[in-house]
Amino acid sequence: MDIATFAFAALYQFADAFAFLVLSACGLAVIFGMMGVINLAHGEFIMCGAYVTATAVHAGLPLPLAILAGALVSAVVGMLVEFVVVRHLYERPLDTIVATWGLSLIATQGTLIVIGSTMAGVGTPFGSFQVGAYSYSIYRIVLFLAALGVLGSLYALFNWTSFGVKARATIQVPHMADALGVDTRWIYSLTFACGAGLAGLAGGLYAPTMTLVPTMGATFLMEAFVTVVIGGADVFLGTAPAAAVLAVVKSVMTSWQGQLFGQIGLLVAVIIVVRVLPKGISGFLLRERT
Amino acid sequence: MNGLISLFRRLEGPQTKGRGLLFWSVFMVALIGAIAYPMFSDGYTVGNTAYFFVWVFIALSLCLIWGYGGALSFGQTAFFGIAGYSYGILTLNFGAAYGFTLVAVLAAVAIAAVVALLLGYFMFFGRIEGVFLGIVTLAVTLMLERFMAQTAGPDWRIGAARLNGFNGMSGMPPITIPWFDGPIVLFADVGLYYLILALVVVVYLGLRILVNSSFGNVIVAIRENPERAEMLGYDIRKYQLINFVIGAGLAGLSGVLYTAWGQYITPSSMGMTSAALPLIWVAVGGRSDLTSTLVGTLVVLAGFQALTIYGSQYALVVMGLLLVLTVLIAPNGLVLGAMNVIGRLVARAKGGRN
């Protein structure tokens, strides 16, 4: 293999890992960064997005619209969950973990009962292209672009819109924002819906690449956790760089020893990073800045 | 002798519910009932009851780490699995002769504790806390499950023990006690029941002494306010780490007994669902009290078992619902709430007499 094809293969692996980490983590990161709540039902929102996307495709909707439908349905479900459960637990962050875990059990098992152990999947679109001796899926490139697109639109949302300004005010000093007339409950609710919607989007985007089973959320969960733990509370200064660093670790380990060792590499990385940077990359960057 | 008496005085204290003649009478009645129970039942049912008691240790470990220490750990299931697999690997390699299974039990628990020491060092000395602790421990658990699930095939063997991937290991010998006229093999029957019952009593009383000792008071102080505990001069990282390791050992004990009870262990005993169950028992029972956890665990397990008869897929949904409702409505746990009510009634009755 000459240098160019090798470099391309490495780059492709990196982009693939990066996209997976960003897409699976950003929903979790938005909710955690904004409200300090870890949503353990995150994987089930991903599953929800994937199932809705597949159903919509089977009903005849084109794939991009189906993915959007998946994201929207997840967002609506997320808002409902926030209203019924999470809203009452903001003062007890540990209890939100426990409660959302209960929800995750209900959702996984409920899906198993209602829909059954598998669901007809969606074919991967776009086919593949050839570089050197290997062929690559075009859809993986689309996923990478989608990850960049999600990061870009989140940046735009939180920096350039009135919702973003209010949301950031709410994270910084909730009661002050409240006093200035921001409906903080509504902001929390929207933020949770946004995080759930992003999870649904990840599910929809990955629906064509994997088998649809009720426990599929767990496949994303570890990567999402690891990225958020290493990234810390800030989506842009944390999640994106964390995903970049972890993508290197994961793609190197994967091409060296296989997929499982890619995941073990992630886990070891996270355990070492929490020892060195307890507040994550964003905590480190923010401390350096001030 | 004096030391022993002061040790027993620690059975009651500020960190545990239940004191005085009434509580200990109820305790003795329950204990005598548990001891007499095999006489009124057949071996198979007694073996099943022993299965309930197997889970008490992991529940108590979570109670200690989460309820008393305030550190939500999802890693208990990982230690459960590590110890279970260790027991399997050790006994399959060295057999059950000369009481080796007892050595294997201790060694397996020790292995779980050492892993906890390593992991805990990185976590507590890295000062991660709150929700992150939960995530890191959960990630470890999930990773371990995935790792064990892919160990299928003849390449994955340790000595004579094949790991067998998703199907798990089986065929390890049960706990065997060497005796003068032939070794006593503890199958899932009356013998194993008494062994586990004795362990439950010893661990329960031992933990009561532990949490009411000065160590336990510091642990609770850390839960209430870590900064304050640190200002008072305690190295909270060490206390948390020791607490975590003790908890891991107890979870490991559950794992060993589980493996010895059914003579099998599979990776799914470390999965998401298995990790959720201890949490449900402890949360529903009342995480900040040992007695509530003990009673809650047995009650919820019995309920779960009863539901499973009607349809195991619905049982998990009910468990999830129970967890969510407990957190929303009775965050201190149902059994603990009930015990508080009883305690108040007793106090009022006494007050009325005076």
pLDDT in the model for residue B352: 59
List all residues 6 or more positions away from B70 whose beta carbon is below 8 Å from its beta carbon.
A94, B222, B223, B224
- The answer to whether A20 touches A223, Cβ cutoff 8 Å, is yes
C-alpha distance from residue A264 to each of B117, B156, B268 (Å): 19, 17, 18
Separation CA B247–CA A58 (nearest Å): 49
**What confidence tens digit (pLDDT) does each residue in B195-252 have?**
889 999 999 999 988 988 889 899 999 888 888 988 998 888 899 999 999 999 999 9
Strand B176-177 and strand B169-170: the pairing is unpaired
Can you give the residue range of the structural domain that contains B176? 2-272
Percent of chain B exceeding pLDDT 90 equals 16
Give, for B348, the enclosing helix (H) or strand (E): helix B334-353
Nearest chain B Cα distance for residue A125, angstroms? 29
Would you say residue B322 lies in a domain?
A: no
Chain A residue with minimal CA distance to B141?
A222
pLDDT of residue B178: 74
Domain with A260 in it: what CATH number? 1.10.3470
Q: Decide if B138 touches A, using CB distance below 8 A.
A: yes
Q: Any CB–CB contact under 8 A between B134 and chain A? A: yes
Token pair 């299974």 is found at B101
Question: Does the ipTM surpass 0.85?
Answer: no
Neighboring chain A residues of B332 at a CB cutoff of 8 Å? none
One DSSP character per residue, chain A reads --HHHHHHHHHHHHHHHHHHHHHHHHHHHHHHHHH----TTHHHHHHHHHHHHHHHHHTT--HHHHHHHHHHHHHHHHHHHHHHTGGGGTT-HHHHHHHHHHHHHHHHHHHHHHH-S-B---PPPS-EEEETTEEEEHHHHHHHHHHHHHHHHHHHHHHHSHHHHHHHHHHH-HHHHHHTT--HHHHHHHHHHHHHHHHHHHHHHHGGGS-B-GGGHHHHHHHHHHHHHHH-S-IIIIIHHHHHHHHHHHHHHHHHH-HHHHHHHHHHHHHHHHHH-TTHHHHHHHHHH-
Q: Is B313 in Cβ contact with A226 (below 8 Å)?
A: no
Domain extent at residue A102: 3-289
Q: For residue B266, give both structure tokens.
A: 């599979």
Structural domain count of chain B: 1
Are B142 and A92 in contact (CB < 8 Å)?
A: no
What whole-number distance in Å separates Cα of residue B94 and Cα of residue B310?
41
* Residue contact A110–B317, C-beta within 8 A: yes
**CB atoms inside a 10 Å sphere around CB A200:** 32
pLDDT higher at B333 or B53: B53
% of chain B beyond a pLDDT of 70: 96
Interface probe with A: pick from B63, B131, B140, most Cβ of A within 10 Å: B131
Which residues on B lie below 8 Å from A267 (Cβ)?
139-140, 143
Three-state secondary-structure class, residue B280:
helix
Token readout for A251 is 């793609």
Residue A242 in contact with residue B92, Cβ under 8 Å?
no
Q: In this structure, are strands A134-137 and A128-131 parallel, antiparallel, or unpaired? A: antiparallel
In 3D space, the residue among B63, B58, B59, B50 whose CA is nearest the CA of residue B84 turns out to be B58
Confirm or reject contact between B2 and chain A (CB < 8 A).
no
Q: Do the beta carbons of residue B193 and residue B49 sit within 8 Å?
A: yes
What is the pLDDT, as a whole number, of residue A288? 54
A225: nearest CB among B139, B323, B324:
B139
Chain A contact residues (CB < 8 Å to B) = 32, 36-38, 40, 85, 88-89, 92-95, 97-99, 101-106, 108-110, 112-113, 215, 218, 221-222, 225-226, 228-229, 260, 263-264, 267, 270-272, 274-276, 278
**A268: buried, middle or exposed (CB in 10 Å: 19+, 13-18, 0-12)?**
middle
Single-letter amino acid code for the residue at A265: G
Per-residue pLDDT of chain A (290 residues; tens, 9 = 90+): 577 777 787 788 888 888 888 888 888 888 887 777 888 888 889 989 988 888 888 888 888 888 888 899 999 999 898 888 887 887 787 888 888 888 888 888 888 888 877 777 777 777 777 776 677 778 888 888 888 888 888 888 888 888 888 888 887 777 888 888 778 788 888 888 988 999 999 888 888 888 888 888 887 888 888 888 887 767 777 778 888 888 888 877 777 777 777 777 777 887 777 777 767 777 777 665 44
Three-class SS state of B184: strand
Q: A265: Cβ–Cβ under 8 A, 6 or more apart, which residues? A: A249, A250, A252, A253
Q: Do B136 and A270 touch (CB under 8 A)?
A: yes
A242 burial (CB, 10 Å; 0-12 / 13-18 / 19+) is buried
pLDDT value for B188: 65
Give B265's strand partners.
Answer: B169
- Band of the pLDDT at B90, cuts 50, 70, 90? confident
Contact B72 A98 (CB under 8 A): yes
Residue with tokens 């309820």: B67
Look at residue B139 and tell me if it is in a domain: yes
* Cα distance between residue B29 and residue A118, in whole Å: 50
Whether residue B341 is contained in a domain is answered as: no
Q: Is residue B339 part of a domain?
A: no
Closest chain A residue to B118 measured between Cα atoms? A271
Q: How high is the mean pLDDT of chain B?
A: 83
Closest CA to A105 of B216, B271, B154, B334: B271
Based on the structure, what is the number of domains in chain A?
Answer: 1
Q: How confident is the model at residue B309 (pLDDT cuts 50, 70, 90)?
A: confident
- Residue B38 per-residue DSSP state: G
Is the predicted pLDDT of residue B61 greater than 80, yes or no? yes
Give the pLDDT score at A287.
Answer: 65
- For B26, left (φ over 0), alpha (ψ -120 to 50), or beta? alpha
Is residue B45 scored above 70 in pLDDT? Answer: yes
Closest CA to A96 of A85, A107, A104: A85
Which residues does A183 contact at the CB level (< 8 Å), separation at least 6? none
Predicted confidence at residue B246, as pLDDT, reads 93
Token pair 């529903």 in the structure block, residue: B284
Contact flag A267-B139 (C-beta cutoff 8 Å): yes
First to last CA, chain B: 36
- pLDDT higher at B109 or B6: B109
- B10 located within any domain: yes
| Beta pairing partners, A134 | A131
Interface A-B, measured as beta-carbon pairs within 8 A, has a size of 120
Task: Answer with the residue of higher pLDDT: B120 or A217.
Answer: B120
